[in-house]
A and B are shown apart, each in its own frame.
Chain A
Amino acid sequence: MSCIRSLVAVSLIASVGFSTAVTAQEMISDTTARKQPLTTWGVQFEEFEYRYSDDDEELGVWNADAFYGTDDFKVRLLTTGEYEIEEQAYETLENQLVGQIPISKFFDAKAGVRFDTPEGPDRTYAVLGVAGLAPQWFEVDANLYVSDEGETSAELDAEYELLLTNYWILAATLDATVAFSEDREIGVGKGLVSTEAGLRLRYDLVDRAFSPYVGVVHEQKYGDTADFAETGGGSTEDWFAVIGARIAF
Chain B
Amino acid sequence: MKPRFLTGLLSLLMPAMVLAGEYDLTVDRVKIDTGDFVKEGIGYNGASPGPVMRFKEGETVKINVTNNLDEMTSIHWHGLILPFNQDGVPGISFPGIKPGETFTYEFPIQQAGTYWFHSHSGFQEPDGAYGAIVIEPEGREPFRYDREFVVQLTDKHPHSGDRIMRNLKMMPDYYNREQQTVGEFFSDASKNGLMNTVRDRMAWGDMRMMKADVEDLQGFTGLINGKGPDQNWTGLFEPGERIRLRFINSSAMTYFDIRIPGLDMTVVQADGNNVQPVNVDEFRIGVAETYDVIVHPKDEQAYTIFAESMGRSGYARATLAPEEGMEAAVPQLRDPARLTMADMSGMPGMDHGSMAGMDHGGMDMGSSEDMSGMDHSSMEGMDHSNMDSMDHSNMEGMDHGSMTMGKEDKSDPFYAKGSGLMPKAANGGKFLSYADLKAQDPLYEDREPTREIELRLTGNMERYTWSINGVKYEDADPIRLKYGERVRFKFVNETMMTHPMHLHGMWSILDVGAGQWNPIKHTVSVNPGTTVYMETEVDAPGQWAFHCHLSYHAAAGMFRKVIVEGGPDSTQAKTDAIAEDGGEV
Contact = CB atoms under 8 A, between A and B. Distances in A.
Interface of A: 1-2, 5-16, 18-21, 23-38, 40-42, 44, 71, 102, 105-106, 133, 135-137, 162-167, 207-208, 248
Contacts of A71: 463, 465, 472
B442 interface: yes
B174 A9 contact: no
A137 B567 CA distance: 53
Given A18-B83, A21-B569, A29 B584 contact: yes
A165 B165 CA distance: 25
A34 B91 contact: yes
A105 B180 CA distance: 23
Contact of A166 (B179, B575, B585): B179
Interface stretch (B3-11, B252-260, B376-384): B3-11
Nearest to A30: B91
B3 A137 contact: no
Contacts of B559: 34
B443 A23 contact: no
Contacts of B84: 23
Contact of A28 (B3, B18, B95, B181): B95
Given A11-B14, A33-B122, 9 more contacts: A7-B3, A23-B541, A23-B542, A27-B575, A28-B91, A30-B561, A35-B91, A37-B474, A163-B181
A164 to B, nearest CB: 5
Contact of B571 (A24, A31, A37, A207): A24
B110 A12 contact: yes
A156 B222 CA distance: 44
5 contacts: A2-B444, A9-B81, A12-B60, A24-B570, A24-B575
Contacts of A31: 91
A165 B7 CA distance: 67
Interface stretch (B201-209, B300-308, B411-419, B524-532): B201-209
B539 interface: yes
A162 B85 CA distance: 52
Contact of A18 (B107, B180, B208): B107
Contact of B178 (A23, A26, A33, A166): A166
A38 B6 contact: no
A35 B584 CA distance: 10
B11 A2 contact: no
A162 B182 contact: yes
Interface string B308-330: 00000000000000000000000
B3 A16 contact: no
A24 B181 CA distance: 56
A207 B167 CA distance: 10
B462 interface: yes
Contacts of A105: 460, 462
Contact of B574 (A8, A25, A37): A25
A41 B108 contact: no
Interface string B82-97: 0111100011101110
Interface of B: 3, 6-7, 10-11, 14, 18, 58, 60, 81, 83-86, 90-92, 94-96, 106-108, 110, 122, 165-167, 169-171, 174, 177-183, 202, 205-208, 219, 441-445, 460, 462-463, 465, 472-474, 539, 541-543, 555-557, 559, 561, 563, 567-571, 573-575, 578, 584-585
Contacts of A2: 442-445
A194 to B, nearest CB: 29
Contact of B473 (A14, A21, A35): A35
Contacts of B207: 135
B11 A11 contact: yes
Nearest to A41: B166
Contact of A20 (B58, B444, B463, B568): B568
Contact of B542 (A8, A27, A32, A42): A27
A84 to B, nearest CB: 32
Given A16-B18, A24-B573, A30-B584, A166 B181 contact: yes
A126 to B, nearest CB: 26
Contacts of A41: 166
B166 A135 contact: no
A44 B174 CA distance: 13
Given A2-B442, A27-B578, A167-B177, A133 B208 contact: yes
B580 to A, nearest CB: 13
A248 B173 CA distance: 13
B94 A135 contact: no
A211 B584 CA distance: 46
Contacts of B473: 34-35
Contacts of A34: 91, 473-474, 555, 559
B174 A12 contact: no
A11 B208 contact: no
Contacts of B90: 32
Contact of A102 (B166, B178, B463, B472): B463
A32 B93 CA distance: 12
Name, among B14, B85, B442, the residue most crowded by chain A CB atoms within 10 Å (CB to CB).
B85
A248 B170 contact: yes
Contacts of A248: 170-171
